[in-house]
């Protein structure tokens, strides 16, 4: 079996923001700090971590919604830089946003929301073709033609997210960044939307970066999982292996907090509580950012950030003490 081709390659990506700190002074907030990973065609990479760790910023920076401070993004063998490549990239790469309530224009009908990307990229030759494409997209995500003339506020959260997904699919993309697309929805609706993402992937050959903090959802949909902490990528590996054999102490702690439906197993599992608070991203500790909370920390951890090293095939960890 031949190795799958990488559709997306992220190399040493950095995204720093200037935060005002007194008169004419500012501090650097390192939201994403030297992150590298690849996503193969047809794969789903789950990106997890606590709120504020930089997950969403990674997704937005890849799509050039933020201009990267440093690093490279390669898509289908082409480096994304300059207006022409960014414009072409945005036809092939789209985003489904976290909040279906604020990401849709309340003054536009469903038909206009889904049709807007078709207008921007001139993807139809006449009005009839435009309406047919909109109808097909609505059908793909489980909406009916009756919904076309209605406004976003008339729909439930799950239906609004379906509208957002149809809008993302309008330009026939190869790659979609799913930014916590189910976190604002009821649990019963979450399952429907996640299953729909999987069906669309099979039907359309899509590749996903699936950003979430719910590890059960990520495990269900992802081929591989990457774990972030304070702007750094600290572990990445196949979904099942990372879930059953986590190596980094932060990943072990995260997984210990995942609820287990079997009460006997839940009682046997011990929740690992980390000491201390998450450091401020404006005043990061030296070396490994996790060392101030890590039970394994040594003097070496304060000296340098460990490199991401492959421990078993496809499973890499950034830790000095393995």
Question: In this predicted model, what pLDDT tens digit does every residue of 122-149 receive, in sequence order?
Answer: 889 999 999 999 999 999 999 998 899 9
Q: Indicate whether 268 pLDDT > 70.
A: no
Q: How do the residues of the chain divide into helix, strand and coil, expressed in percent and rounded to 5?
A: 35, 25, 40
- Between 175 and 262, the higher pLDDT residue: 175
**C-alpha triplet 48, 195, 200: angle, nearest 5°:** 100
pLDDT exceeding 90 applies to what percent of the chain? 68
Instruction: Measure the CA angle with vertex 164, ends 135 and 192; round to 5°.
Output: 90
Residue 266 pLDDT > 70: no
Look up residue 53 and give its two tokens: 């760790």
Residue 202 reports pLDDT greater than 60: yes
How many Å apart are CA 5 and CA 89, to the nearest integer? 18
Q: How many CB atoms lie within 10 A of CB 260?
A: 12
Model confidence, pTM: 0.91
Cβ atoms of 102 and 180 within 8 Å: the answer is no
Q: Helix (H, G, I), strand (E, B), or coil: what is residue 255?
A: helix
The phi and psi torsions of 86 (rounded to 5 degrees) equal -65, -40
Tokens at 174, concatenated: 């190869």
pLDDT at 265: 62
What average pLDDT score do residues 254-268 get? Answer: 71
pLDDT in the model for residue 322: 83
Instruction: Enumerate domains of the chain plus CATH numbers.
Output: 6-317 (3.40.50.300)
Q: Which two tokens stand for residue 194?
A: 């996640």
pLDDT given for residue 2 in this prediction: 44
Label residue 24 exposed, middle or buried (CB < 10 Å: 0-12, 13-18, 19+). Answer: exposed
Q: How far does the chain reach from its first CA to its final CA, in angstroms?
A: 32
Residue among 166, 43, 284 nearest 292 (CA) = 284
Backbone angles phi, psi at 153, to 5 degrees: -65, -15
What integer best gives the mean pLDDT of the chain? 91
């Amino acid at each position: 079996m031949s190795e799958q081709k990488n559709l997306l390659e992220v190399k040493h990506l950095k995204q720093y923001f200037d935060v005002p700190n007194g008169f004419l002074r500012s501090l650097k907030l390192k939201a994403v700090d030297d992150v590298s990973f690849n996503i193969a065609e047809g794969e789903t990479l789950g990106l997890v971590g606590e709120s504020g760790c930089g997950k969403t910023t990674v997704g937005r920076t890849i799509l050039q919604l933020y201009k990267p401070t440093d690093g490279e993004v390669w898509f289908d063998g082409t480096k994304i830089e300059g207006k022409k490549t960014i414009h072409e990239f945005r036809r092939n790469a789209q985003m489904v946003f976290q909040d279906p309530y604020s990401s849709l224009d309340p003054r536009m009908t469903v038909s206009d929301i889904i049709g807007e990307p078709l207008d921007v990229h001139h993807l139809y030759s006449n009005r009839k073709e435009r309406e047919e494409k909109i109808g097909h997209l609505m059908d793909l995500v489980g909406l009916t033609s009756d919904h076309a003339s209605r406004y976003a506020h008339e729909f439930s959260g799950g239906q609004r997210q379906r509208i957002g997904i149809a809008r993302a699919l309008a330009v026939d993309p190869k790659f979609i960044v799913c930014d916590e697309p189910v976190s604002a929805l009821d649990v019963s609706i979450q399952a429907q939307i996640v299953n729909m993402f999987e069906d669309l992937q099979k039907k359309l050959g899509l590749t996903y970066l699936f950003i979430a903090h719910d590890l059960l959802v990520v495990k269900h949909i992802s081929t591989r999982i990457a774990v972030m902490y304070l702007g750094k990528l600290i572990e990445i590996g196949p979904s099942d292996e990372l879930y059953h054999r986590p190596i980094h102490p932060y990943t072990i702690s995260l997984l210990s907090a995942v609820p287990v439906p079997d009460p006997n197993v839940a009682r046997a599992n011990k929740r690992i509580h980390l000491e201390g608070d998450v450091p401020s991203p404006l005043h990061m500790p030296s070396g490994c950012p996790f060392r101030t909370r890590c039970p394994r920390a040594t003097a070496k951890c304060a000296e340098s950030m460990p490199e991401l090293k492959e421990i078993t095939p496809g499973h890499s960890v950034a830790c000095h003490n393995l």
